[in-house]
């Protein structure tokens, strides 16, 4: 009976020992083996063997791409504006040994590194520049964390800025500023329109005045030429001229008398002398 018990115990021990020494590493993982507390080897995917009780599997590292969510954080820009930024990073473990022994927790380490670097990059920029330059921020961020990540056995494959926006208070301030700017532009546009209208009106008055002056000059020249021709035709005899003037004078008085609005007929005081002079010369 004792022999059977010992046999069963030995069988169980043997099976346990074999189970401890034989392992199947799944695809997409690497296992870190320590021998007596020190790093011994890295088990790649497939059927692998270790020495039971001496070797131990302490870390199981995924070699798949890791999606790392960078939580939203507040950042103060160079012009003292408060904005909210969050990102997402895609990393991959390329050296399991460095990832395990190079840093305490490589996931948290790279997350904090990206957050700190992102805050530093955005903090050097003006608000408008930060909101419109996502590609530049992404490029600088990836380049800044790549060297440190390599020391930890990591490769930063990509970093994407998910969202970058002003804080709620800053958004309200920007909306008020935009409304004020639109009002200012509207006032400038109205002022420019009024200015152009005044300029066009002044130019129209100036052109009208120039044309009136030209017309008066033309009339004056015509009158001068007419007077010169009449004077040349009459010579020294003034009787024809007086006769013409008297004739026009009498015709205008006749029109005045025919007007419906005329209530009183006005005759010149020297009419008798004018007529007497005409008869005397005749």
Q: Report pLDDT digits (tens) over 165-212.
A: 887 776 676 667 777 777 888 888 888 888 888 888 888 888 888 888
* Residue entry with tokens 């009158």: 223
Same domain for 158 and 71: yes
- In the predicted model, what is the mean pLDDT of residues 21-42? 91
Whether residue 279 lies inside any domain: the answer is: yes
- Higher pLDDT: 62 or 208? It is 62
Same domain for 72 and 10: no
Task: Describe the strand order of the beta sheet including 55-62 as a list of residue ranges.
Answer: 38-43, 29-35, 55-62
Same domain for 52 and 75: no
* Rounded Cα distance, 183 and 190, in Å: 11
Whether residue 189 lies inside any domain: the answer is: no
Whether residue 232 lies inside any domain: the answer is: no
Q: 242 lies in which domain range?
A: 237-254+269-282
Does the structure show a pLDDT above 90 at 29?
Answer: yes
CATH number at residue 121: 3.30.479.30
Same domain for 72 and 154: yes
Same domain for 71 and 160: yes
- Residues contacting residue 155 through CB under 8 Å, at least 6 positions apart: 91, 92, 94, 146, 149
pLDDT of 90 reads 93
Does the structure show a pLDDT above 60 at 255?
Answer: yes
Q: Which of 166, 201, 221 is the last residue of a domain?
A: 166
pLDDT of 104 reads 87
Does the structure show a pLDDT above 80 at 64?
Answer: yes
Whether residue 183 lies inside any domain: the answer is: no
What is the SS3 assignment for 282? coil
Q: Choose the weakest-confidence range: 32-36, 133-137, 248-252.
A: 248-252
Whether residue 173 lies inside any domain: the answer is: no
| Domains of the chain: total | 3
Rounded to two decimals, what is the model's pTM? 0.58
């Amino acid at each position: 009976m004792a022999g059977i018990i010992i046999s069963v115990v030995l069988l169980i021990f043997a099976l346990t020992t074999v189970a401890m020494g034989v392992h199947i590493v799944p695809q997409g993982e690497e296992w870190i083996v320590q021998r007596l507390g020190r790093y011994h080897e890295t088990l790649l995917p497939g059927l692998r063997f270790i020495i039971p009780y001496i070797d131990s599997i302490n870390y199981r590292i995924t070699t798949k791409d890791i999606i790392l969510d960078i939580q939203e954080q507040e950042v103060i820009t160079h012009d003292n504006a408060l904005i909210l930024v969050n990102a997402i990073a895609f990393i991959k473990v390329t050296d399991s040994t460095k990832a395990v022994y190079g840093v305490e927790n490589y996931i948290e380490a790279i997350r904090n590194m990206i957050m700190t670097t992102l805050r530093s990059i955005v903090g050097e920029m003006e608000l408008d520049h930060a909101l419109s330059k996502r590609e530049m921020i992404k490029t600088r961020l990836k380049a800044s964390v790549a060297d440190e990540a390599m020391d930890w056995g990591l490769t930063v494959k990509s970093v994407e800025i998910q969202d970058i926006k002003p804080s709620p208070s800053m958004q309200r301030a920007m909306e008020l500023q935009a409304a004020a700017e639109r009002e200012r532009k509207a006032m400038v546009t109205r002022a420019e329109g009024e200015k152009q209208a005044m300029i066009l009106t002044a130019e129209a008055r100036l052109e009208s005045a120039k044309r009136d002056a030209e017309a008066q000059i033309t009339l004056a020249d015509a009158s001068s030429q007419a007077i010169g021709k009449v004077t040349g035709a009459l010579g020294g005899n003034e009787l024809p001229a007086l006769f013409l003037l008297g004739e026009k004078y009498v015709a205008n008085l006749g029109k005045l008398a025919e007007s419906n609005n005329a209530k009183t007929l006005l005759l010149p005081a020297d009419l008798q002398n004018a007529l007497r002079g005409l008869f005397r010369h005749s």
